[in-house]
Amino acid sequence: MVAWKGETEIMIKNFLMTPGPTPVPPEVLLAMAKPIIHHRTPQFQKILQEVEENLKYIFQTREDVMILTSSGTGAMESAVSNLLSPKDKAITVQGGKFGERWTELCQAYGVETVIINVEWGKAVDPKVIADTLAKTKAKAVFTTLCETSTGVITDIKAIAEVTKKTDAVLVVDAISGLGAVECRMDEWGIDAVISGSQKGLMIPPGLAFIAVSQKAWKLVEQSKCPKYYFDLKAAKKAVAKTDTPWTPAITLVIGLNEALKILKQETLEGIINRHKKMAKACREAAKALGLKLYSPTASSDAVTAVEVPQGIDGEKLVKTMRDEYGVGIAGGQAQLKGKVFRIASMGYMNQFDIIVAISCLETVLSKMGYKFELGAGVKAAQKVFLE
Ligand SMILES: *Cc1c(COP(=O)(O)O)cnc(C)c1O
């Protein structure tokens, strides 16, 4: 959207740099603008088939990737209601808002939770998971690949090493991580990987995904939690017929097909390297501006959380960048409200999106009276991209 607005009197051009939703490539938008087709047709089946194959590549799995029509949380809910039964014991890792969601979901289904509380900004120690599993004999471990609220990356590979040796299944919320950072379902031994459409997968919100290992499927067979719309048995049966149990979000699936083709062309390695560089540029820029990273010991490559400096109104900073300059970054959630801002490096973004975000951050920080050398952040970011 182009508009003349605000006291800055500049032409507002919008840049979406939030950790979901993320920008959508023009090819994807155009594909979604075509007239709607029916879903029980060979035409749509062909699209579903391509989508299924390319999703497996992104998920790094041979298992079926089930497509649900919901936001990411729907797939999280499906994991709880399909893998467990009331009174089962499950470990949840809580180091941010999304970890807390696992606990809330388990409790909604009467699953007994063993909560591992992790200091916000830090990653869980896989040894703690091993000890807790040994003590509690929990059936499942619920984790978050990239804790979007704090910018923390979890060492899922190391946690999978732990769960592989036990009867417990490892469930990973990779909603903001997939298509941005490494997550190798089969090779690492993850039992359920969950994702959503509006983060690394470069399409609008409205689709969720879940892939389930053979080990976890045994739990699905025994599960006694109530379910209907999110019944994974129905979803899996449909995948076998290149179909969906209910009317899918046809338009989004068509968009996804285009987005996955773009991602596949870049290759997983290319995608991961691009995100590594973008996030490093954000971190170096923040440091060059004299700002502190919120999670310096476990920074994810999908989103960078930066502490708001003393004397600066964090909420006003984010609001000014968005409303006066059109650059949308995210503020802090829950206890981090006003204390951090978050710049996404996720999905359809490249080095120049990052430069725009840093440059706007500098402009607004300068106007708000924060003292630093103008251009220092942009320079630090450019240096990373030139490496
Ligand atoms: C965005 C996000 C979610 C929530 O997804 P919705 O699509 O809003 O339901 C869950 N977990 C993580 C890590 C996320 O980043």
CA nearest 111: which of 65, 147, 79? 79
| 101 and 233 fall within a common domain | yes
Q: From CA 247, how far away is CA 257, in angstroms rounded?
A: 17
| Two tokens, residue 111 | 């699953």
| 199 and 340 fall within a common domain | no
Q: What residues contact residue 81 under an 8 Å CB cut-off, 6+ apart?
A: 109, 223, 225, 226, 227, 230
Closest ligand 1 atom to 174 CA: 13
Whether 196 lines ligand 1, by a CB cut-off of 6 Å, is yes
Whether 148 lines ligand 1, by a CB cut-off of 6 Å, is yes
| 319 and 242 fall within a common domain | no
Q: From CA 133, how far away is CA 139, in angstroms rounded?
A: 9
Q: From CA 268, how far away is CA 332, in angstroms rounded?
A: 30
Domain span including residue 213: 26-265
| Two tokens, residue 384 | 């990373």
Whether 144 lines ligand 1, by a CB cut-off of 6 Å, is yes
Q: Rounded to the nearest whole angstrom, what is the distance from the C-alpha of residue 347 to the centroid of ligand 1?
A: 14
Whether 77 lines ligand 1, by a CB cut-off of 6 Å, is no
| 164 and 223 fall within a common domain | yes
Q: From CA 159, how far away is CA 125, in angstroms rounded?
A: 9
Final residue in a domain of this structure, among 265, 292, 311: 265
Final residue in a domain of this structure, among 209, 239, 265: 265
| 217 and 232 fall within a common domain | yes
Question: Which uninterrupted H or E stretch holds 65?
Answer: strand 65-69
Closest ligand 1 atom to 19 CA: 15
| 6 and 155 fall within a common domain | no
Whether 73 lines ligand 1, by a CB cut-off of 6 Å, is yes
Q: From CA 221, how far away is CA 232, in angstroms rounded?
A: 10
Domain at 158, CATH number: 3.40.640.10
| 107 and 235 fall within a common domain | yes
Q: Rounded to the nearest whole angstrom, what is the distance from the C-alpha of residue 73 to the centroid of ligand 1?
A: 6
| 340 and 378 fall within a common domain | yes
Whether 175 lines ligand 1, by a CB cut-off of 6 Å, is yes
Q: From CA 370, how far away is CA 372, in angstroms rounded?
A: 7
Q: From CA 186, how far away is CA 50, in angstroms rounded?
A: 20
| 42 and 91 fall within a common domain | yes
Number of domains in the chain: 2
| 46 and 148 fall within a common domain | yes
| 182 and 158 fall within a common domain | yes
Closest ligand 1 atom to 198 CA: 7
Domain at 294, CATH number: 3.90.1150.10
Whether 200 lines ligand 1, by a CB cut-off of 6 Å, is no
Final residue in a domain of this structure, among 232, 265, 298: 265
| Two tokens, residue 215 | 């080990």
| Two tokens, residue 185 | 């379902």
Q: DSSP labels for 311-352?
A: T--HHHHHHHHHHHH-EE-EE--GGGTTTEEEEE--SS--HH
Q: DSSP labels for 259-290?
A: HHHHHHHH-HHHHHHHHHHHHHHHHHHHHHTT
| 69 and 125 fall within a common domain | yes
Whether 151 lines ligand 1, by a CB cut-off of 6 Å, is no
Please give the chain's pLDDT, 387 residues, in tens. 455 556 666 788 999 999 999 999 999 999 999 999 999 999 999 999 999 999 999 999 999 999 999 999 999 999 999 999 999 999 999 999 999 999 999 999 999 999 999 999 999 999 999 999 999 999 999 999 999 999 999 999 999 999 999 999 999 999 999 999 999 999 999 999 999 999 999 999 999 999 999 999 999 999 999 999 999 999 999 999 999 999 999 999 999 999 999 999 999 999 999 999 999 999 999 999 999 999 999 999 999 999 999 999 999 999 999 999 999 999 999 999 999 999 999 999 999 999 999 999 999 999 999 999 999 999 999 999 999
CB atoms within 10 A of CB 283: 23
Whether 176 lines ligand 1, by a CB cut-off of 6 Å, is yes
pLDDT value of residue 9: 64
| Two tokens, residue 228 | 């209907």
**Residue ID of nearest Cα to ligand 1 atom 12:** 175
* 64: helix, strand or coil: coil
Ligand 1 pocket check: which of 73, 143, 156, 300 to mutate, most ligand atoms within 8 Å of Cβ?
73
